[in-house]
Structure 1
Amino acid sequence: MDLIKPSLILSLLLAWCWTTPVFAADTAAGEQKAATCSGCHGPQGKSSNAQWPNLAAQQSIYLINQLKAFKSGSRKNPLMQPLAASLSEEDINNLAAYFSSQQAAKAGGDPTLAKSGQSKASICLGCHGPSAEGNGQFPRLAGQHPDYLLQQLKNFKQGSREGGPMQAIAASLSEEDMKELAAYFGSL
């Protein structure tokens, strides 16, 4: 009976170790590296310019995927591509850990448009999470600048930005639908 207890304890300990996630990313290193990002994306990833997205509280997997896409050139942006090209895998992971750990931003949005957008938001929430907080590889929309979201929807619709189902979804939206959705998500 005494032999069972240590083996049971060892088994439980090993099971716990195998199921406990490993967090290799270093948020402090990410914070240092993020100084380069703050010029556009703002301190702690809270952009004051609607041309640049908020990175605060963004999904880390999404950030990693986007930085890798900029680095490889599969996502085009004349500013981001050279910046991402200089990042190591560790830098990318650290930046994602840092920005995802920041308090979410709230950009606001036209209240009238936001109210109309709320009734249309269900088309987005299946992938982007029930509160638009993001869902793994799908980005956080809540608190994002409405003008930024509107531009991204237009880019998907025009095909200048690719992203699986987003092109088809954006193609089904009118200009007014896009403005209303952008205002709603910005207001969250």
Structure 2
Amino acid sequence: MMKKLLLSLTLAASVTGMAYAQSVEEKTATCTACHGAEGVSMIPNWPNLAGQGSNYLFKQIKDIRDGRRSIPEMTGMVDHFTDADVREIANYYSSKPANLGQADPALAEKGRNLYRAGDMAKGIPACTACHLPNGGGNKPAAFPALSGQHPTYTVNQLKTFREGSRNNDPNSMMRLIAEKMTDAEMEAVASYMSGLHGTNR
């Protein structure tokens, strides 16, 4: 009788645990307001997550959760996620089709030159070194994909690196680059990167 009772309690506990297990869609439900149902944001101030490297997303979500990257609008939103949750969410968005952006033709030449060659006179390296010629990013190294990203968001991030208010870049590499860039240069390269479409043009 006792064995049957223990078995019943064990099964009940298992069923209860399963009832509270969330799917990745449920875990990301609060993300959709800013990042879109498929990881493509309708608001240019917020990043597209679809097609982004899983390692990059994993690092950024953990940095936000653990206080290494400050985003006031996300306060408390990821605090309850375990590392396993974060990895699942990162993989989920990484598997989504990436956004296709459109570069401003008026900024394309200046942006292309900066992205592909940098500006050695100012000590600005080519963006291709870390983000690849097609803007796909170095996924194993957790360097982000930039192709299709909203230019407004990219410019805002470059400015926060320049100001030092974002400081979760490895070895300060983005801060050292951004502090040498003008607003006009940031706008040009952000526009060009958005329109790369994963090609080598």
TM-score (norm 1): 0.81
Q: Report the residue type matching 2:97 in the other structure.
A: Q
Could you tell me which residue of structure 2 aligns to residue 130 of structure 1?
Answer: 133
Q: Report the residue type matching 2:176 in the other structure.
A: A
Q: Is 1:147 aligned with 2:152?
A: yes
- How far did 1:73 drift? 0.5
Could you tell me which residue of structure 2 aligns to residue 158 of structure 1?
Answer: 163
- How far did 1:117 drift? 0.2
Indicate how the Cα distance of structure 1 residues 79 and 142 shifts in structure 2: closer, same or farther if over 3 A, else same. Answer: same
Tell me which of 36, 40, 58 is aligned to 2:34: 40
Could you tell me which residue of structure 2 aligns to residue 97 of structure 1?
Answer: 91
Tell me which of 110, 114, 119 is aligned to 1:116: 110
- How far did 1:52 drift? 0.4
The equivalences for 1:1-80 within 5 A come to 29-80=23-74
Tell me which of 171, 180, 189 is aligned to 1:172: 180
Quick check: which one's helix share is greater? 1
Could you tell me which residue of structure 1 aligns to residue 81 of structure 2?
Answer: 87
- How far did 1:98 drift? 0.6
CA distance in 1: counterparts of 2:30 and 2:166, whole angstroms:
24
- How far did 1:177 drift? 0.8
Could you tell me which residue of structure 2 aligns to residue 13 of structure 1?
Answer: none
TM-score (norm 2): 0.76
CA distance in 1: counterparts of 2:72 and 2:157, whole angstroms:
16
Unaligned runs of 5+ in 2: 1-21, 117-125, 197-201
CA distance in 2: counterparts of 1:79 and 1:87, whole angstroms:
17
Unaligned runs of 5+ in 1: 1-27
% same residue: 40
CA distance in 2: counterparts of 1:31 and 1:45, whole angstroms:
12
- How far did 1:31 drift? 3.2
1:15-40 superposed Cα distances (whole Å, 9 cap, x missing partner) = xxxxxxxxxxxxx9333322221110
CA distance in 2: counterparts of 1:66 and 1:57, whole angstroms:
15
- How far did 1:176 drift? 1.1
CA distance in 2: counterparts of 1:112 and 1:37, whole angstroms:
34
CA distance in 2: counterparts of 1:87 and 1:125, whole angstroms:
33
Q: Report the residue type matching 2:193 in the other structure.
A: F
Moved over 3 A (4+): none
